[in-house]
Amino acid sequence: MPDTLTIAHLQHLWPHGDQHIAGLVEGIVASAPAVFAKYGLTTPLVVAHAMGQFSEECGAGLEMAENLNYSEEGLVRTWPSHFSTSMAQRYAHNPRMIADIAYGGRMGNAPPPSDDGWNFRGRGLSQCTGKDGYEKLAAKTGLPLVETPDLINDPAHALECGIADWVLCGCLPHAQKDDSEGETKALNGGLIGLAARRSWIARWKSELGVK
């Protein structure tokens, strides 16, 4: 098991990691040895891949919950099948309603007026989204994430939730092969932000001494 993740590493690469969630960096470091052992992250290379992906997904700790404060134009551009022009005018800059409309009725969420879209919006190191995703993560970790979704961002559980989701998505074999493209497809469903992800992985490899 790699004893590789330290406060110094995270303070260097995530200098503002505690800004929105107090104690996040310390919680990640404290839980790392047990979490890495539990989920089979046995080399610094694999840790660098996971942390590189998380760095892009959660903005190095600054974006632990999805920002759904969209403008009218942003709603129509991002979700043209969910928001007509009139709906976009009505719901612009209303994150809760945007989440319920955009995510309601899919990913295991009940449709509006259910609040599932908001309750199970993207959160955590891996930006887990949708009730289905939270249920799978709850089953994997044993944490009551469906009843208490914000636990995914609790400093004591954030790393386990991120790693468990990353493993559930099938990322581990790609990371073991140093395959950032395959890993990104597994985690993200596409190649969004691939260049930034590769840059983060390279920075984590350097930080953790991976040749």
- pLDDT digit string, tens, across residues 105-162: 999 999 999 999 999 999 999 999 999 999 999 999 999 999 999 999 999 999 999 9
User: What does the domain layout of the chain look like in residue ranges?
Assistant: 7-64+155-207, 72-119
| Structure tokens belonging to residue 211 | 């040749």
The count of C-alpha atoms lying within 13 angstroms of the C-alpha of 22, restricted to the half-sphere facing its C-beta, is 0
Give residue-wise pLDDT tens across range 76-107.
999 999 999 999 999 999 999 999 999 999 99
pTM of this structure = 0.94
Q: Which of 26, 99, 103, 96 is nearest to 61 (CA)?
A: 26
Q: Which of 135, 192, 190 is nearest to 165 (CA)?
A: 135
Q: Is the pLDDT of residue 198 over 50?
A: yes
How far is 65 from 127, CA to CA, in rounded Å? 7
Count H helices, E strands: the chain? 12, 0
Q: What is the mean pLDDT of residues 162-183?
A: 98
CA angle 72, 121, 84 (to 5 degrees): 25
